[in-house]
Amino acid sequence: MQVGSFLSTSLLLQIGSFKPIEAKFVELIGAIGLIVGILFLLLGATLGVLVVVWLERKVSAGVQQRVGPEFAGPLGLLQALADGLKLVLKEAVHPSRADERLFRLGPAMVVVPVFLSYLIIPFGPGMMLEDLGVGVLFWISVSSIAPLGLLMSGYASNNKFSFLGGLRAAAQSISYEIPLALSVLAVCLLSSSLNTSDIVEAQSGFGVLSWNVWRQPIGFILFLISSLAECERLPFDLPEAEEELVAGYQTEYTGIQFGLFYVGSYVNLIASSLFVTVLYLGGWGLPLPGVVERIVPAGLQGSLLPALVGFIGLFATLLKAYCFLFFAILTRWTLPRVRIDQLLDLGWKFLLPVSLGNLLLTACCKLAFV
């Protein structure tokens, strides 16, 4: 009896000693999976930049009745890659009287926060790196860091044109970030959640009729205008207006540091288009609900349905996002550039009061009808 109790006690001790090892192994596997997911996301965002650059050149050529890039690869697809390699191979120099540490840190502060916003974007059912309960607040807080990098780059260049461009970038970002945040909070109020996946699920009830674009038309328009201003797209590209400031905050930058500003701009544009899709266009949801379940035979739904739903959801998200990108590209060649006073007046005197009224109206309807 004593021998049996001794064996059972020693066996329990051995089993208990393996539990911390197993927990550490699970944590290690989770960390490796997160790193691999981040690498795939960085690769996808970089390839997305190449596609957007090619798309912008082709659409711009079509608007102006030109051909556009066509010799570098099929249909000119390799032109953006060639430009990127050219910037990588160029020497990165800096002005002799510039603040070298701030000068080198500025482009990184512009690019890194934009890539961090991709962590909470749901590309499909379960296709999300970090499912944060306050994902929308994380995105708003992270995106507010990039203007500091622009201001830092302009200040560190020891150039009046660069410094004016940095000041314009900071003023423009602050002016349009508040209406953008208020329009997003109205959507969160309707969905009763700050989680991006929950916002998409709240729009999946009746297909296209349950998308937030119908319940928040004012917020949708405010978000479109504010996101174009945040990405510094025409007609809101005042921080780098070439007729006034040479190239704005990026005047003194060369090589890969100059390329980082463009990468950050295009990655931010792609992120804004994805957030438009998630917040207002139903995310991965299809216009007609239950279409995939009707197509797949009943015998294959157990094994084939989840993979097919995920693939179709990813395709739907990217298709909606590129529709917004097409709109942003057309806007560049349709509207003239505004003046800096018109830009600030639009943000503070029009968009901010309208966004506050939209949020108040949404809260009143939420209390009255829910």
pLDDT tens digit at each of 370 positions of the chain:
444 444 445 444 444 544 566 677 677 777 787 788 778 888 888 888 888 888 888 888 888 888 878 787 787 888 888 888 888 888 778 787 878 888 888 888 888 888 888 889 998 888 888 888 888 999 988 888 888 888 888 888 888 888 888 888 888 888 898 999 999 999 999 888 899 999 998 888 788 888 999 999 999 999 999 998 888 887 777 766 655 656 677 888 888 888 888 888 888 889 999 999 999 998 888 888 777 667 766 666 666 777 788 888 888 899 999 888 888 888 888 888 888 888 889 989 999 999 999 999 999 988 887 6
User: CB of 46 within 8 A of CB of 81?
Assistant: no
**pTM (two decimals):** 0.85
7: Cα separation from own chain's centroid = 59
Residue 48's nearest CA partner among 123, 100, 146 is: 123
Q: Tell me the β-bridge partners of 124.
A: 127
Amino acid 302: pLDDT: 63
Calpha distance 164→197 (Å, rounded): 40
Q: Which residues contact 52 (CB under 8 A, 6 or more apart)?
A: 266, 269, 270, 325
Evaluate whether residue 137 is within a structural domain. Answer: yes
- Asked if 286 and 316 count as a contact pair (C-beta separation under 8 A), the reply is yes
Q: Is the distance from CB of 325 to CB of 269 less than 8 angstroms? A: yes
* pLDDT in the model for residue 22: 66
In a domain, 59, yes or no: no
175 part of a folded domain: yes
Helices (H), the chain: 2-63, 79-89, 100-116, 135-143, 146-156, 160-191, 196-201, 212-215, 217-230, 242-245, 255-280, 291-295, 301-332, 340-345, 352-369
Backbone angles phi, psi at 124, to 5 degrees: -175, 180
The answer to whether residue 103 sits within a structural domain is yes
Residue 9 lies in a domain: no
Which string of b and e fits 177-205 if b means at least 16 CB within 10 Å? bbbbbbbbbbbbbbbebbbbbbbbbbbbe
Quick check: 130 and 119 in contact, CB under 8 A? yes
CB distance 199 to 191 below 8 Å: yes
Angstrom distances, CA of residue 338 to CA of 235, 239, 250, 280, 344: 6, 12, 20, 27, 10
Strand partners, 127: 124
The pLDDT value recorded for residue 20 is 63
Structural domain for 197, as ranges: 98-369
Establish if 21 belongs to a structural domain. no
- The alpha carbon of residue 19 and the mean position of all alpha carbons in its chain are separated, in whole angstroms, by 40
**Is residue 264 one of the residues assigned to a domain?**
yes
Distance from the Cα of residue 25 to its chain's centroid: 33
Residue 79 is assigned to a structural domain of this protein? no
The count of structural domains within the chain is: 1
Question: What pLDDT shows up at residue 243?
Answer: 57
Compute the distance between CA of residue 55 and CA of residue 68 in angstroms, rounded to an integer.
10
Instruction: Tell the burial category of 150 from Cβ atoms under 10 Å away from its Cβ (0-12, 13-18, 19+).
Output: buried
What does the pLDDT read at residue 11? 44
The pLDDT value recorded for residue 104 is 85
**Separation of alpha carbons 194 and 204, rounded Å:** 17
